[in-house]
Amino acid sequence: MGYLYGYALEAICIRLGQDLPEISGICGVSAWVDEVDAILISQGVPVGLTDLIFGSYPVEIPRPDDYPFIGSWPPRVICEALRASRGVALAGMNPEMADTVGQVRVWLEAAAVDAAYGLIGFLS
């Protein structure tokens, strides 16, 4: 039954929040998520895709035992993560990886407009 709470939370976020562009190339590919996270960590970016897919919930609900997978980046890490992500050199990365890391930066920029904003991720 937890999945119903997960989809209800997703519906609330869609209604009240801002939908940001997806990275379709990573859906369901855990090795890709790990690669992106390794780059972010090595560059001092204090967030990872794993946290956004399988991390902490922004509110307390029963955890789904299946989809959707939910995670978040809380407001307190957004500005620091954005500063660090701006220092990541995309030149020299394979194009898909550079696009993905660039997309993470776009998400952080969108959240950084207000100190109360965080990011919530859903993988269905």
Query: How many CA atoms lie less than 13 Å away from 68 in the CB half-sphere?
Result: 19
pLDDT of residue 92: 87
Using one digit for the tens of pLDDT, what is the confidence trace for 64-106? Answer: 888 899 999 999 999 999 999 999 988 888 888 888 899 999 9
Report the percentage of the chain scoring pLDDT > 70. 94
Contact call for residues 103 and 23 (beta carbons, < 8 A):
yes
pLDDT of residue 30: 65
- Whole-angstrom Cα distance, residue 23 to residue 68? 16
pLDDT of residue 66: 84
- Radius of gyration over every alpha carbon of the chain, rounded to an integer in angstroms: 14
For residues 29 and 123, which has the higher predicted lDDT (pLDDT)? 123
Q: How many residues does the chain have?
A: 124
pLDDT of residue 29: 57
- Whole-angstrom Cα distance, residue 69 to residue 120? 11
Contact call for residues 93 and 73 (beta carbons, < 8 A):
no
Asked whether the whole model's pTM tops 0.95, one would answer: no
Using one digit for the tens of pLDDT, what is the confidence trace for 7-64? Answer: 998 999 889 888 887 765 555 556 788 889 999 999 999 999 999 989 998 888 888 8
How far CA 7 is from CA of 16, 33, 64, 81, 87, in Å, comes to: 14, 22, 9, 27, 35
- Whole-angstrom Cα distance, residue 106 to residue 85? 10
Q: Do β-strands 119-123 and 69-73 pair in parallel, antiparallel, or remain unpaired?
A: antiparallel
Look at residues 81, 121, 89 and name the one whose alpha carbon lies nearest to residue 105: 81
